[in-house]
Amino acid sequence: MRLILLGPPGAGKGTQANFIKEKYNIPQISTGDMLRAAVKAGTPLGLAAKKIMDEGGLVSDDLIINLVKERIQESDCANGFLFDGFPRTIRQADALKEAGISIDFVLEIAVADSEIIKRMSGRRAHLASGRTYHVLYNPPKVEGKDDVTGEDLVQRDDDHEDTVRKRLEVYHEQTEALVGYYSGLAKSGDANAPKYAKVEGVGSVESIHDKAFAALG
């Protein structure tokens, strides 16, 4: 199974990715992890990426695609892979196609912006333990306090409403076009095009997981 997960930040892609990885015995590949691994290993591509990042630049799509090609040759990708946060743009999706990297399935987890803002801006964390709460869905016993230690809970910077709104803006500007791109490919009749399915990312984790696996067949 060679799979791309699409959906806005906070849609629950990470949670569903864990179920999919286990079922199909495939690694989850994120460009961030891949870049860090290549830099750490000191590969020629890793060194090139490090130079760009050290200078505060953005790693080019071509370099990312070459890193992807290198990564999927590794033995843990024998059964396939799951792309997480890649491709991010139509240009990257085109480059993936041009590189001859075939994809079996694109799964979109759709959640409305209003729900994501409610979900993410309501999160609170006890940083020392990593325990997380939600003001609506999983509140602590005492408002603003960790259940175990009684220490203050904090709202991470990433979860502030204005930050969440900015992240959603970037998603709509850059990545949402991939929904049309891949669903269009699936309808094109091209035998090599990936299949496409959309599931609503609302409800219990188990119900979303069931919908995702029913879609993947």
Active site residues: 13, 88, 123, 156, 167
Contacts of 68 (CB under 8 A, 6+ apart): 29, 31, 34, 86, 96, 99, 101
Q: What is the 3-state secondary structure (H, E, C) of 89-155?
A: CHHHHHHHHHCCCCCCEEEEEECCHHHHHHHHHCEEEECCCCEEEECCCECCCCCCECCCCCCECEC
